[in-house]
Copies of this chain bind each other. A is one copy, B any other.
Amino acid sequence: MTDAGRRRGRPSTGVREAVLAATEAILGESGVARLSTKEIARRAGVAESSIFYHFGDRLGLLQAVVALHLPRFKDVADGLVPGEGGLRANLVALLDGLVAFYARVAPILAAVQADAELRARFADRGAGEVIGPRRGVAPIAAYLAGERELGRVRADLDVEAAAMVLLAVAHQRAVLGRLSDGPAPGGTGDAVDVLLAGLAAG
């Protein structure tokens, strides 16, 4: 590892960053299936061997790409303040933000699902679960708990379960958007309305 402490040695010439960017681009356009070190190097305008210098091997590179996106998971609920704005509007905005986030991360999530070796390498560090929604649940659940205190949300709501449902819907819409190259059927508003009012007859 050359860089744990960050910028201890030589100044970066941007190769590492270019490689990461190219990897993400290919992942988004073509998926892991077509992700080769050769094409990454070509697109990054970099020697193929530089990839191995920086990341050790192909999987190390994939790991780095995944790691790059994990911290951003917690930003999804930023700007949401319980009590401010309408509950429905807040949820629609949250859901839209989540869908956009998942649309960016979906190719990477798909890569992890499609590559057992990559999955295994994360399991070794116990980081497999980090990819899941656990990181995302907390801030959303916190927001819902805030609204619950204010009485805008059912007093007996299981906020973690509700946050999971929101994440599930967002992920679904992002995946569908990628599969059919268009937005998923129905709007985010429809889903929010279902969630707000529930299924059971009142």
Contacts and interface: CB of A to CB of B under 8 A. Distances in A.
A202 interface: yes
Helix, strand, loop or mixed for chain A's interface?
helix
Interface residues of A, number: 69
Work out how many copies of this chain go into the complex.
2
A194 B116 contact: no
Nearest to A198: B198
A200 B191 contact: no
Interface stretch (A1-9, A10-18, A48-56, A130-138): A130-138
A33 B165 contact: no
Given A114-B110, A129-B180, A198-B197, A164 B172 contact: yes
Interface of A: 29-34, 87, 91, 106-107, 109-119, 123, 128-129, 131-134, 144, 151-158, 160-162, 164-165, 167-169, 171-173, 175-176, 178-181, 184-186, 190-191, 193-202
